[in-house]
Structure 1
């Protein structure tokens, strides 16, 4: 259902998101990264963020589940954006940072713990991970897309399923697109240097 939405509306979604100024969120994430760090943009959509990280000098890999979005992101970034889903993630300690901006929110709540563990496995010890969800609690469907909303308590409970990940910072922001009045939950997660 959600995938079909992005296939059918790829250009509209691209046009509506590609120029949003995300600099304050980038700063919260990149201040934890060394120069030239390896970053994964997981569920990259338009490629806006992958391109920004590339221009900051990071080594960037990106993927999305929608072939239409992948084509647009490849064109926008010049990167070999991969067509894959969270279920395909099998990297082991490859990345210094993982960026999940408005992507994990499409994963059903029952599948989120497994997806979180897969992504945590892809992160190097000491690595940093940015996540964002529409602020709320529960699952819903809107205009052909499914959402798992998250509040602070929900994120804390979710992270209990990935014991070597800790929340370094949580905060809410207003949607940066002028036509949207929604709020977002943002999180910076850190992977401990020794898994327990």
Structure 2
């Protein structure tokens, strides 16, 4: 178990409480209209299950996983889904299953050198012309902070990363952190394949 997973297991309730009510509507409004009505979404690194629940409430089919056993339990309780406890690289499903993959503030915990392999693994589960959403903290480093590994991204680094996979379209934009007393800027990306 890596230090990030260990951190989330030890601080699951605190993390859940600090993120469950964060306003996400502006992000949903960019992503969900691009998914077919009732389409299937994979919440990759689902954390509290907040986004999975929102997608379910809007009539989408959702599968979710997280590496943290403790967060998986909390997300299962919140959503009623059988949230799977697994890592990005260990996740398995039928190929070309999902209309969209949602990786909100989760891939940022993958070391930079492992991101291409991780994205390649996840993309096999995306349908043709499917959408991939991810978000990273704006910056240019890969390091352990507060007990968790972070890979921060610049706009050019993030665009270059996803351009390796020959996408049809990339949309990239910045948002401010919605948590109280947090001045973090986030980079968001929606990629169509």
**TM superposition score normalised by structure 1:** 0.94
Match of 1:155 in 2: 158
Give secondary structure in 2 for the equivalent of 1:86: coil
Match of 1:194 in 2: none
> Larger deviation: 178-187 or 87-96?
87-96
> Whole-Å Cα distance in 1 between the matches of residues 101 and 45 of structure 2?
10
Give secondary structure in 1 for the equivalent of 2:186: strand
Deviations 1:147-184 (A, max 9, x none): 00011111122113322x34431000010102211000
> Whole-Å Cα distance in 1 between the matches of residues 171 and 115 of structure 2?
20
Quick one: structure 1 residues 47 and 7, their matched pair in 2 at CA, closer, same or farther if it must change by over 3 Å? same
Deviation at 1:142, TM superposition (A): 1.1
Superposition pairs for residues 1-196 of structure 1, below 5 Å?
A: 1-91=3-93, 92-163=95-166, 165-191=167-193
Quick one: structure 1 residues 101 and 4, their matched pair in 2 at CA, closer, same or farther if it must change by over 3 Å? same
After the TM superposition, list the runs of 4 or more consecutive aligned residues in structure 1 that deviate by more than 6 angstroms: none
> Whole-Å Cα distance in 2 between the matches of residues 24 and 145 of structure 1?
27
- The answer as to whether partners of 1:105 and 1:133 remain within 8 angstroms in 2 is yes
Q: Cα RMSD between the aligned structures?
A: 1.0
> Whole-Å Cα distance in 2 between the matches of residues 79 and 155 of structure 1?
31
- The answer as to whether partners of 2:96 and 2:124 remain within 8 angstroms in 1 is yes
- The answer as to whether partners of 1:167 and 1:187 remain within 8 angstroms in 2 is no
Q: Provide structure 2 residue ranges, at least 5 long, that are not aligned to the other structure.
A: none
Q: Provide structure 1 residue ranges, at least 5 long, that are not aligned to the other structure.
A: 192-196
> Whole-Å Cα distance in 2 between the matches of residues 81 and 179 of structure 1?
30
> Whole-Å Cα distance in 1 between the matches of residues 124 and 20 of structure 2?
29
Give secondary structure in 1 for the equivalent of 2:124: helix
**TM superposition score normalised by structure 2:** 0.96
